[in-house]
């Protein structure tokens, strides 16, 4: 079974993201980028399925600027077999990415697509669902456990108040939650080997996909700074403030 | 794994060395494998410098750097130098009153982090195997010869057990290993001890440099303006100086350098820096702007008289790991790069003669002595010692005479024989220093500052800051010196917590900025900085 793992290049989770001075978007110049952590979990799950003998090949795919190669190399170092980059400098929105991934699925014919439930930059949480809809495949989002049995896949999801287990027939789309697994470290020899694994570059035009943005960003601003607290001298003063200033009690 | 040459550290020295090696190999039509390890999450992540950059070494390394798009920021257009008598007034020193070495025409205001990232991409394009996120943890020494390093292990839990994703360290062997870890590298320190490289030299002297990056409104920004200062707030308590550089993209780099030979344990370099920014001469540059980055790093500034022997069997010690900074110019990047170039040329020639490697490259010393690097360091040899011995004013006058009239060739060599950590006086003999609370506009507290360094360490790992004798933290550091580590640490790593059973030292290792100040300044040399899990530490953007 072939698994497709889409990975996204995002601002590193350690970096304190900041809005550009002109409010047009996030500052990306001189900012460390990394693989979206949820996608890293997706890569790890695919690698584990391969180690368990369930999967035969793992193809990592990323869409965006040429530098996304760094994240694809990371996926290859973690255990993916080969990589595809759909290269474009156009700002990619979830629908465009889903369409690109659909075109890749048509080309590669994987039985399973595993990807992060969302990316930590825009937190859209849409690509996996849109892809499933475009493919007309079953989907299981927010997976915290995945088990493949023949032509069936069982996915456990964390929902409010408990766990939900879904069974689907392959092919299917699964999006990963934080608790699915803990990704391994890329070792030095594997990083070296990854440099030699195949990485193919495509363009949206070659895939016949129009990636023009459908949404316009009007303005990005930072949340207002939290005001400093005050010390109150008595319970009566606290109650008074809660009632008259904060107006949270009648 | 085996390589021809292994370089430890992806700063200007290490990258210059790796690039030169590959250039020489390509020119001679030789295969040469060069591996470079960097403990930061990416090249540049742990790089912090002012920086005003002199291009001399870069001109030699990549003559067409301009055409190749080296990020050299903006040319220096104007130099201002001040002496601050106290917190509200300033004396602007005219150009002729300054030591020649302090003139910056022809230099550039750069981000050294950006330059290193560019050098990293140049190195990779030449075929250097660069591995960021891997620390060189230990030396590999066989029969008295350095044969490589062992990388840090990954996935060990705080309690010492192995986590499911545990990866042991890996031996990387090389015919020659070049150590370019920067100031007070822990392997450099071990090499100096093991091979007695500092015998007959003055002890190394250090400073801590604290730096912030500000974004200011375009109308208040003067690209290429370089401001240096001395005096307040340090005068009387410590030596040091300040800088403020207008770089590109409406940014200003502002920083304070505090020499680590200060005596009063109540001194807090971080808070001195915060109050320094309140000086009207400095404040007016920052007003209306926002702080976007913070960091700190120790600096090796002993210069010529403190420079250890840089060669030993199987390898070389270069850049700030040895201490090649030119204090008279307050610049170390071009000299670090030059030491990398000489190292590469020495190693390549040695491998051409004998592919086996592992020799003590004594000819490095000869090449060094014949280079402009040696000439520069020799001319600057008295600069720091004069300031330490005679103070800013008279030391400055000595330096003016030495540098401007004699070109650094005054026939005396001043020495500074006392190590910095020995200079700390007991707290009982010193007056506590009261620092004002930060205003949240120009001055800030430690934790909100550390936040802007993007520092992070995997939480479940053993602390990488070790006390040789944990008991001394209270019996000596606290009782005698009022816990100076809680003040000189720029990241709030060390905290004395009062508990029912008495005070206790808490080490918040995850805040660490890898500046190495604690390893240097601890009065009993009881704190050891060791590399944490690779990829940990600050993630500087354009510092």
Please report whether residue A78 resides in a domain.
yes
Lowest mean pLDDT among A37-41, A208-212, B2-6, B385-389: B385-389
Q: Does A56 touch chain B (CB under 8 A)?
A: no
Give me the mean pLDDT over the A14-38 stretch: 92
Q: Which residue has the higher pLDDT, B414 or B331?
A: B331
Band (pLDDT 50/70/90 cuts) for residue A140 is: very high
What φ, ψ does residue B75 adopt, rounded to 5°?
A: -70, 145
Give me the mean pLDDT over the B503-531 stretch: 96
Give the count of beta carbons closer than 10 Å to the beta carbon of residue A144.
17
Band (pLDDT 50/70/90 cuts) for residue A88 is: very high
pLDDT at A196 over 90: yes
Do B539 and A15 count as a contact with CB atoms less than 8 A apart?
Answer: yes
Task: Write out chain A residues lying below 8 Å of B131, CB-based.
Answer: 188, 191
pLDDT of residue B386: 83
pLDDT at B510 over 90: yes
* Per-window interface: B 286-305 vs A, CB < 8 A: 292
- Give the 3-state secondary structure of residue B302: coil
Structural domains counted in chain A: 1
pLDDT of residue A40: 98
Q: Does B24 touch chain A (CB under 8 A)?
A: no
* DSSP 8-class letter at B314: T
Structure tokens at B296: 């700190």
Q: Does A188 touch chain B (CB under 8 A)?
A: yes
Query: What's the farthest any 2 CA atoms get from each other in chain A?
Result: 71
- Spatial separation of the C-alpha atoms in residues A153 and B85, rounded to whole Å: 75
Q: Are A88 and A204 in contact (CB under 8 A)?
A: yes
pLDDT at B388 over 90: no
How far is CA A14 from its chain centroid? 16
Q: Are B477 and B484 in contact (CB under 8 A)?
A: yes
Q: Is A65 exposed, middle or buried (0-12, 13-18, 19+ CB in 10 A)?
A: middle
pLDDT at B397 over 80: no
Q: Chain B: residue nearest A29 by CA?
A: B541
Task: Write out chain B residues lying below 8 Å of A18, CB-based.
Answer: 292
pLDDT of residue B74: 95
What φ, ψ does residue B335 adopt, rounded to 5°?
A: -75, -35
| Nearest Cα to Cα of residue A84 among A95, A73, A97 | A73
Given B1, B129, B165, which is nearest A185 (Cβ)? Answer: B165
Do B249 and A191 count as a contact with CB atoms less than 8 A apart?
Answer: no
pLDDT at B417 over 80: yes
Size of interface A-B (CB pairs under 8 A): 52
- Spatial separation of the C-alpha atoms in residues B264 and A123, rounded to whole Å: 50
* DSSP 8-class letter at B281: H
What residues pair up with B302 in beta bridges, in sequence order? none
Given A18, A184, A191, which is nearest B165 (Cβ)? Answer: A184
pLDDT of residue B34: 98
| Nearest Cα to Cα of residue B308 among B395, B418, B198 | B198
- Spatial separation of the C-alpha atoms in residues B109 and B115, rounded to whole Å: 11
- Spatial separation of the C-alpha atoms in residues A143 and A165, rounded to whole Å: 9
Band (pLDDT 50/70/90 cuts) for residue A21 is: confident
Over residues B85-131, the pLDDT tens digits come to 988 889 998 888 888 888 898 999 999 999 999 999 999 999 999 99
- Spatial separation of the C-alpha atoms in residues B202 and B204, rounded to whole Å: 6
pLDDT of residue B416: 85
Do A14 and B454 count as a contact with CB atoms less than 8 A apart?
Answer: yes
Task: Write out chain B residues lying below 8 Å of A22, CB-based.
Answer: none
> What is the per-residue DSSP string for B215-274?
E--GGG--TTEEEEEEETTTTTT--EEEEEEE-STTEEEEEEEEETT---TT--HHHHHH
Q: Chain A: residue nearest B135 by CA?
A: A188
Over residues B340-372, the pLDDT tens digits come to 999 999 999 999 999 999 999 999 999 999 999
Over residues B196-209, the pLDDT tens digits come to 999 999 999 999 99
Please report whether residue A249 resides in a domain.
no
Q: Does B1 touch chain A (CB under 8 A)?
A: yes
- Give the 3-state secondary structure of residue B319: helix
> What is the per-residue DSSP string for B5-57?
EEEE--SHHHHHHHHHHHHHHHHHT----EEEEESSSSTTTT-----EE--HH
pLDDT of residue B342: 98
Distances (CA, A) of A148 to A2, A44, A174, B98, B395: 13, 15, 12, 75, 76
Band (pLDDT 50/70/90 cuts) for residue B312 is: very high
Q: Are B231 and B274 in contact (CB under 8 A)?
A: no
Q: What are the start-end ranges of the H helices in chain A?
A: 37-51, 69-78, 94-108, 127-135, 188-194, 204-207, 235-244
Task: Write out chain A residues lying below 8 Å of B149, CB-based.
Answer: none
In chain A, what percentage of residues exceed pLDDT 90?
88
| Domain CATH for A156 | 3.40.50.620
pLDDT of residue B98: 81
Do A189 and B42 count as a contact with CB atoms less than 8 A apart?
Answer: no
Q: Does A192 touch chain B (CB under 8 A)?
A: yes
Output the average pLDDT for chain B. 94
Q: Chain B: residue nearest A44 by CA?
A: B165
pLDDT of residue B393: 73
Output the average pLDDT for chain A. 95
Structure tokens at B358: 């592992």
Give me the mean pLDDT over the B68-75 stretch: 95
Strand B74-75: give its sheet, edge to edge: B52-53, B108-109, B74-75
Over residues A227-243, the pLDDT tens digits come to 878 889 999 999 999 99
Structure tokens at B370: 């014949």
Query: Range of A28's domain?
Result: 2-244
Q: Does B542 touch chain A (CB under 8 A)?
A: yes
What φ, ψ does residue A220 adopt, rounded to 5°?
A: -120, 125
Q: Does A234 touch chain B (CB under 8 A)?
A: no
* Per-window interface: B 101-130 vs A, CB < 8 A: 111, 113-114, 129
Over residues B423-469, the pLDDT tens digits come to 999 999 999 999 999 999 999 999 999 999 999 999 999 999 999 99
pLDDT of residue B407: 77
* Per-window interface: A 194-213 vs B, CB < 8 A: none
| Nearest Cα to Cα of residue B267 among B373, B394, B398, B420 | B420
Given B154, B215, B541, which is nearest A185 (Cβ)? Answer: B154
Given A32, A182, A192, which is nearest B539 (Cβ)? Answer: A32
Task: Write out chain A residues lying below 8 Å of B151, CB-based.
Answer: 188
Q: Does A225 touch chain B (CB under 8 A)?
A: no
Domain ranges of chain B: 2-66+113-201+308-379, 383-414
Give me the mean pLDDT over the A201-210 stretch: 97
Do A185 and B155 count as a contact with CB atoms less than 8 A apart?
Answer: yes
pLDDT of residue A245: 87
Task: Write out chain B residues lying below 8 Å of A185, CB-based.
Answer: 154-155, 165, 167
Per-position b or e across B324-352, b if 16+ CB within 10 A of its CB: bbbbbbbbbbbbbbbbbbbbbbbbbebbe
- Give the homologous superfamily in CATH for domain B2-66+113-201+308-379: FAD/NAD(P)-binding domain (3.50.50.60)
pLDDT at B266 over 80: yes
Task: Write out chain B residues lying below 8 Å of A16, CB-based.
Answer: 451-452, 454
- Spatial separation of the C-alpha atoms in residues B19 and B122, rounded to whole Å: 7
* DSSP 8-class letter at B424: P
* Per-window interface: A 100-119 vs B, CB < 8 A: none
Band (pLDDT 50/70/90 cuts) for residue B401 is: confident
Give the count of beta carbons closer than 10 Å to the beta carbon of residue B88.
11
pLDDT of residue B258: 96
| Nearest Cα to Cα of residue B298 among B383, B192, B461, B186 | B186
pLDDT at A183 over 80: yes
Do A12 and B41 count as a contact with CB atoms less than 8 A apart?
Answer: yes
What residues pair up with A64 in beta bridges, in sequence order? A87
Radius of gyration of chain A (CA): 22
Do B539 and A182 count as a contact with CB atoms less than 8 A apart?
Answer: no
Q: Are strands B108-109 and B74-75 parallel, antiparallel or unpaired?
A: antiparallel
- Strands (E) across chain A are located at 2-6, 9-11, 33-35, 57-64, 82-87, 112-116, 139-149, 152-159, 162-169, 172-176, 199-202
pLDDT at A73 over 80: yes
Q: Are B407 and B432 in contact (CB under 8 A)?
A: no
pLDDT at A223 over 80: yes
Q: Are A184 and A41 in contact (CB under 8 A)?
A: no
pLDDT of residue B412: 80
- Strands (E) across B301-439 are located at 311-312, 315-317
- Spatial separation of the C-alpha atoms in residues A92 and A6, rounded to whole Å: 14
Distances (CA, A) of B305 to B59, B242, B516: 27, 24, 22
Q: Are B322 and B339 in contact (CB under 8 A)?
A: yes
pLDDT of residue A98: 98
Given A29, A30, A185, which is nearest B167 (Cβ)? Answer: A185
Band (pLDDT 50/70/90 cuts) for residue A5 is: very high
Query: What's the farthest any 2 CA atoms get from each other in chain B?
Result: 70
pLDDT of residue A90: 95
Q: Are B345 and B5 in contact (CB under 8 A)?
A: no
Q: Does B456 touch chain A (CB under 8 A)?
A: yes
Most B CBs within 10 Å: which of A14, A184, A196, A222, as the mutation test of the B interface?
A14
Q: Does B60 touch chain A (CB under 8 A)?
A: no
Structure tokens at B225: 């303006």
| Nearest Cα to Cα of residue B21 among B331, B346, B240 | B346
- Beta-carbon contacts of B127 under 8 Å, excluding residues fewer than 6 positions away, are B22, B34
Do A185 and B454 count as a contact with CB atoms less than 8 A apart?
Answer: no
């Amino acid at each position: 079974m072939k698994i497709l793992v889409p990975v996204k290049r995002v601002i590193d989770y350690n970096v304190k993201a900041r809005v550009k001075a002109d409010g047009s978007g996030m500052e990306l110049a001189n900012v460390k980028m990394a693989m979206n952590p949820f996608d890293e979990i997706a890569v790890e799950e695919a690698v584990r399925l391969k180690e368990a003998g369930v999967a035969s090949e793992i193809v990592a795919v990323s869409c965006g600027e040429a530098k996304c190669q760094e994240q694809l190399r990371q996926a290859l170092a973690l255990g993916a077999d080969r990589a595809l980059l759909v290269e474009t400098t156009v700002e990619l929105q979830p629908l465009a990415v889903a369409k690109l991934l659909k075109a890749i699925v048509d080309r590669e014919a994987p039985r399973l697509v595993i990807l992060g439930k969302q990316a930590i930059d825009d937190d859209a949480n849409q690509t996996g669902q849109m892809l499933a809809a475009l493919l007309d495949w079953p989907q299981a989002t927010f997976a915290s456990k995945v088990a493949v049995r023949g032509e069936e896949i069982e996915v456990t999801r964390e929902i409010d108040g408990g766990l939900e287990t879904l069974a689907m027939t392959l092919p299917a789309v699964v999006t990963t939650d934080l608790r699915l697994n803990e990704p391994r470290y890329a070792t030095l020899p594997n990083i070296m080997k990854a440099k030699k694994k195949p990485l193919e570059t495509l363009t949206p035009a070659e895939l016949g996909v129009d990636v023009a943005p459908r949404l316009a960003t009007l303005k990005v601003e930072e949340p207002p700074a939290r005001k400093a607290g005050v010390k109150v001298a008595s319970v009566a003063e606290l109650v008074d403030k809660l009632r008259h200033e904060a107006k949270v009690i009648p | 794994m085996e390589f021809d040459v292994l370089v430890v550290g992806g700063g200007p020295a290490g990258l210059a060395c790796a690039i030169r090696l590959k250039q020489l190999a390509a020119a001679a039509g030789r295969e040469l494998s060069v591996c470079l390890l960097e403990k930061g999450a990416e090249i540049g992540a742990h790089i912090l410098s002012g920086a005003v950059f002199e291009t001399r070494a870069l001109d030699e390394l990549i003559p067409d750097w301009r055409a190749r798009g080296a990020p050299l920021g903006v040319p220096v257009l104007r130099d201002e130098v001040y002496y601050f008598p106290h917190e509200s007034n300033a004396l602007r020193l005219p150009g002729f009153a300054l030591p020649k070495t302090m003139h910056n025409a022809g230099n550039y205001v750069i981000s050294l982090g950006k330059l290193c990232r560019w050098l990293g991409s140049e190195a990779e394009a030449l075929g250097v195997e660069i591995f960021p996120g891997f620390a060189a943890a230990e030396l590999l020494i066989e029969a008295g010869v350095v044969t490589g390093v062992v990388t840090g292990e990954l996935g060990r839990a705080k309690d010492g057990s192995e986590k499911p994703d545990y990866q042991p360290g890996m031996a990387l062997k090389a015919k020659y290993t070049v150590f370019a870890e920067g100031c007070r590298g822990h392997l450099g320190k071990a090499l100096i001890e093991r091979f007695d490289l500092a015998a007959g030299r003055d002890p190394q002297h250090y400073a801590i440099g604290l730096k912030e990056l500000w974004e200011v409104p375009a109308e208040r920004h003067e690209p290429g303006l370089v401001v240096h200062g001395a005096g307040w707030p340090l005068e009387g308590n410590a030596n040091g100086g300040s800088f403020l550089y207008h770089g590109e993209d409406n940014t200003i780099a502002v920083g304070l350098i505090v020499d680590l030979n200060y005596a009063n344990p109540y001194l807090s370099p971080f808070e001195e820096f915060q109050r320094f920014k309140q000086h009207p001469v400095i404040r007016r540059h920052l007003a209306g702007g926002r702080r976007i980055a913070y960091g700190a790093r120790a600096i090796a500034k002993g210069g010529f008289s403190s420079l250890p022997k840089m060669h030993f069997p199987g390898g070389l010690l270069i850049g700030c790991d040895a201490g090649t900074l030119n204090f008279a110019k307050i610049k170390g990047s071009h000299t670090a790069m030059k030491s990398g170039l000489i190292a590469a040329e020495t190693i390549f020639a040695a491998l051409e003669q004998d592919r086996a490697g592992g020799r003590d490259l004594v000819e490095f010393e000869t090449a060094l002595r014949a280079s402009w690097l040696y000439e520069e360091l020799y001319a600057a040899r008295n600069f720091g010692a004069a300031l330490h011995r005679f103070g800013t004013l008279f030391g400055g006058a000595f330096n003016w005479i030495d540098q401007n009239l004699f070109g650094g060739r005054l026939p005396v060599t001043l020495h500074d024989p006392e190590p910095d950590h020995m200079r700390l006086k007991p707290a009982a003999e010193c007056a506590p220093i009261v620092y004002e609370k930060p205003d949240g506009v120009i001055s800030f507290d430690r934790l909100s500052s550390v936040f802007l360094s993007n520092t992070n360490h995997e939480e479940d790992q053993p602390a990488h800051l070790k006390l040789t004798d944990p008991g001394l933290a209270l019996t000596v550091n606290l009782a005698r010196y009022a816990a100076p580590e809680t003040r000189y640490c720029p990241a709030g790593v060390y905290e004395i917590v009062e508990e029912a059973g008495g005070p206790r030292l808490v080490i918040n290792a995850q805040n660490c900025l890898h500046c190495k100040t604690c390893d240097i300044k601890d009065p009993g040399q009881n704190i050891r900085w060791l590399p944490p899990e690779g990829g940990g530490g600050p993630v500087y953007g354009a510092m």
